[in-house]
A and B are shown apart, each in its own frame.
Chain A
Amino acid sequence: MKRMSWPMACAAAVLAFVPLGARAEGADPVFPEGSDVEPAWRVGAFLQNQTGVFVAHDQTAYGDPKNPGSPTNHGGNFGKLSMCRFTFQMDADWRPTSRVWTHVTLRMARSLTVGADEDAQVPVAGYAGDVNKSRRKEWVRDNYYNETNLREFFVNFRTASWLDIRLGRQLVAWGESGSSRLLDVVNPVDATWHQGILESYEDQRMPLWMVRVLADVPALRGGLDVVWVPMLPLMERPEDTVTVPLTFVNAWGLPTPPKQLDDSVGPDKINSKRLLIAHDFGTDSRVGFRWKGKAGKSVNYSLMYYWTHQMSPPIPKYTERPGAYDPNTQGFTATRTTFDVFLEFPRQHLLGFSLEGQVPFPLGTMLKLEGAVELPRTYAKNSAFNRGRLDYPGNAVERWPFQRKQYTVIEYALTLQQPFWIRPVNREEPFVLVFQFQHTAIPGIKDLDKEGAVVDVPGYDTTVVSQNSYKFIGALFTSFLKGTITPKITAGFIPKTTHWVVQRQGEIEKWSLQHQSMSHGSGFATFSLGFKLMDSMRATVAYNRFFGDQPYDGLGFYRDRDEVNVTVKYQF
């Protein structure tokens, strides 16, 4: 996805920064310092470099010689660059009147190519094979590592003291609970430059053109936030309205799939991947609302509904290849041995709620509960499941549909935040402990039903979806010397509850699903230390460790990608 936006960025500069500049030249701030009134203009910016090096040694993914072609290494080798990204971001607000204001966020990012991107699964035809390794790196660089992006550009009209109408390119955060994005559903995500769990959602969200109406309703102690994403084909590209598939890059994307249960469905049979993204104005628009209110003295709550597209992962719809079909003989002569895979982003309804409040005891305890229901979520089937009926549209292509399955998905996350003191260690600031438990339930799934099995990540049969799945996340942090040093530990564990087992007898292979104890699974741990170098400069050194007993499931995908990562950020 090439970041649009040179034209947009220029437009933003003209519309936002030029007036700002004019105001600045006047050297006549509208509002004096210390006033509680918003200033007429405000500009902020930062420059950041983030560099990482892989420190994990290769781990064998599948040593089975009967599974040739399965990658043995998911990431780069020890000592190789995991990322090197330069970011310049500028924010500006301009308030010409009390009723109208505008906001612009411009981000320019440049990343160096990394060796692991040689294994990117480029969706475009013509990039396969060893001979194209360097071209794959270039493709990733050109499409994901060079970004000039108008991340926000909107105008806010305060039509009444209680009503705002906001038009433009926006990011909407309706709630995020630790590692989950249960209610943060409006914007798609681009996490191609680094592991998503290690980066803020703010940076990963992809902006959308939208109309947003924000209404305060004091009588009900709350406010309504209505969002309409109309889809503007002239202003945005379809691929910028959905989450970027993580197979498209490799340093922090998904490795080449292992051999599937049905090994006739292999990556080497794919000519191209084509995303069918519904992107017509109006008919493919997304719409929803969030009501956020207060109940009692210390409890906040929200209710959310959103009619959207399932933004990740893309679900395989059918394969095609060109040729000639003769209805008389019912014979098809293909002109190519490889297939084009068409993937789509199905529609879905999302319902959600959140409750957040302080608990009287122990002191300072915060509890937050977020829940969401997906009606429905579409899953790709396991490769061993039968395909649909073969068709020959126009007698010119052979089209073979995939089967898929839809389920109602119920998710909730409970987050506890507890500050506490350890005076002998830190006399100035408290430690803060955050713990989160997340449960995803899919009542329609039968765990051990092989025929009905669906996968979390299409193309990876090992990512079988269970009726119940869980996540445990914890974080502990504090700061010393008035924020000069900020250590933080974050860790997570995702138990694997169902997995495939194979019984072999001679040449016979019998695959079945089996429950697994909660001690199996995958996870991560991050140890970071932040330093305040100057008033405006901070540096963070982090060691990111991934583990997983299955190399093609959960965070096991990343178990060869342990890294040391250094971030230096200068705030203007």
Chain B
Amino acid sequence: MSLRKIMACAMILAGALFVACSSSGNGGNDTIGTDTPADAVASGFIGQLVDFASKTGRKGVDIVVLNNDTGLELDIVKYPPLKSGDEGVFELALPPGMKVGFKTSGTEVVTTGIAMQFQTSYMFNIPSDAQGKRIYAVNKVTYMTAPATAGLVVDKTKGILAGTVYWKNATAGTEDFVGCALVKAIPVDGTEAVGDVRYFDPKYDLPGPLGKAPFTTNGKAGTSRYIIANLPVGKYKMVVTIDGVQVNPGDEEVELFAYADSIAISNIYVTDQTDAIINPTPARTECTVDKVDQG
């Protein structure tokens, strides 16, 4: 295993963390994006470029708006690349009612200290009229130093997908973790899952080996974060199952692009297929973690 692969693996782990961090607010990944309506009126999108590790806004990072369906630049003339502003905040006039993606990369601008460099990162399924959306970017230090605890060997010619599995609690108005969920990435034109899947270990909030973190967890100390490494470049549908039953069928089956040597972040929303108003986490003890011993 080359160390480069290990580093890429680490980046994956970092990406998964980042996904976890995007837990608050609208994940907006429940439907696939739509084409830009020709006569749509531009709306205001307000976002904040945030370093995934520190959750702090970063200025001067390169941002490109992507077509959510194709993964290519949306319209480079109408929506040229831009840089994040103060505190990482940026605004765009985008057509409302559609989903877009963001590609982030480059180096932040600082007045003092050492500027943070970012690995190319992607986020998809972002509502074009969101008013206050975090766009996460994975910094290269995190990418390089994230622990290789998950036993992954990363191929830098392939891509990484990462995110968090949520259940929308309509009663409480929250997005809750889901335990005992398994995530698969299946090529849109295929049937077999590909890539190396890992889940976050609640103890360290980092991807763990399958022996220690064989599925997602919920609970006070749980983390339903996942990461899938070594995906050939292409488009994938994300399938989540609990006890063999898919819990994100139909529109909830998120589609994501995997790009070489980069991380694409997206949350996945699931529902219990028998009762939509309950968290689909099984009642088994291993699915819920309320306390971890850091010692």
Chain A residue at smallest Cβ distance from B208: A337
Contacts of B193 in A (CB 8 A): none
Query: Is B233 interfacial (CB-CB < 8 Å)?
Result: no
By the criterion CB–CB under 8 Å, are A334 and B295 in contact? no
Within 8 A of B (CB), among A126-148: 126-132
How far is A390 from B145 in the complex, measured between Cα atoms in Å?
Answer: 10
For the complex, is A484 an interface residue (Cβ under 8 Å from B)? no
Are B114 and A388 in touch, CB under 8 angstroms? yes
Instruction: Give chain A nearest CB distance to B106 CB in angstroms.
Output: 15
Q: Do B133 and A386 have beta carbons less than 8 Å apart?
A: no
**Docked-complex contact A386 and B295, CB < 8 angstroms:** no
- How extensive is the interface on chain A, given as a class? 35 or more
Closest to B111 in A: A451
Q: Tell me whether A451 and B112 are in contact in the complex, defined as CB-CB below 8 angstroms, given that A66-B24, A262-B54, A508-B46 are known contacts.
A: yes
A129 touching B145 by the CB < 8 A rule? no
A333 touching B89, Cβ below 8 Å: no
- In the bound complex, residues from chain B placing their C-beta under 8 Å from that of A127 are 295
Complex CA gap A404/B265 in Å reads 34
Could you pull out 24 A-B pairs where Cβ atoms are within 8 angstroms?
Answer: A128-B295, A129-B293, A129-B294, A131-B293, A330-B144, A332-B7, A332-B144, A333-B3, A333-B148, A337-B206, A384-B54, A385-B113, A386-B116, A387-B113, A387-B141, A451-B111, A506-B26, A506-B132, A507-B22, A507-B48, A508-B48, A508-B134, A509-B57, A511-B87
Tell me if A297 counts as interface (CB < 8 A to partner B): no
A179 within 8 A of B: no
Chain B: minimal CB distance from A122 (Å)? 11
The answer on a CB contact under 8 Å between B3 and A508 is no
Answer whether A331 and B144 are a contact pair too, CB < 8 Å, given A386-B110, A506-B132.
yes
Q: Quick one: given A129-B293, A337-B204, A390-B145, are A506 and B55 in contact (CB under 8 Å)?
A: no
Minimum distance in angstroms from A333 CB to a CB of chain B: 5
Choice from B2, B53, B114 contacting A389 with Cβ under 8 Å:
B114
CA–CA, A268 to B87, complex, Å? 26
Is A262 in contact with B130, judged by CB distance below 8 angstroms?
Answer: no
Q: Write the nearest CB–CB distance from B131 to chain A, whole angstroms.
A: 6
What size tier do the contact residues of chain B reach? 35 or more
Interface residues of A (CB under 8 A from B): 66, 68, 126-132, 261-265, 268, 326, 328-334, 336-338, 383-390, 398, 400, 403, 451-452, 504-511
Contacts of B22 on A, CB cut-off 8 Å?
A: 507
Residues of A with C-beta under 8 A to B157: none
Complex formed: what's the CA distance from A527 to B54 in Å?
A: 45
* A505: contacting residue among B6, B46, B142, B206, CB under 8 A: B46
Are B133 and A506 closer than 8 Å at their CB atoms?
Answer: yes
A510 touches B293 (CB 8 A): no
A66 CA to B220 CA, complexed, in Å: 12
Which of B25, B54, B206, B295 meets A131, CB within 8 Å?
A: B295
Known: A127-B295, A264-B53, A386-B114. 14 other contacts (CB 8 A): A128-B294, A129-B293, A132-B295, A261-B56, A328-B3, A331-B3, A384-B56, A387-B114, A452-B112, A506-B25, A507-B25, A507-B26, A507-B133, A510-B87
Would you call B115 an interface residue if the criterion is a C-beta within 8 Å of the partner chain's C-beta atoms? yes
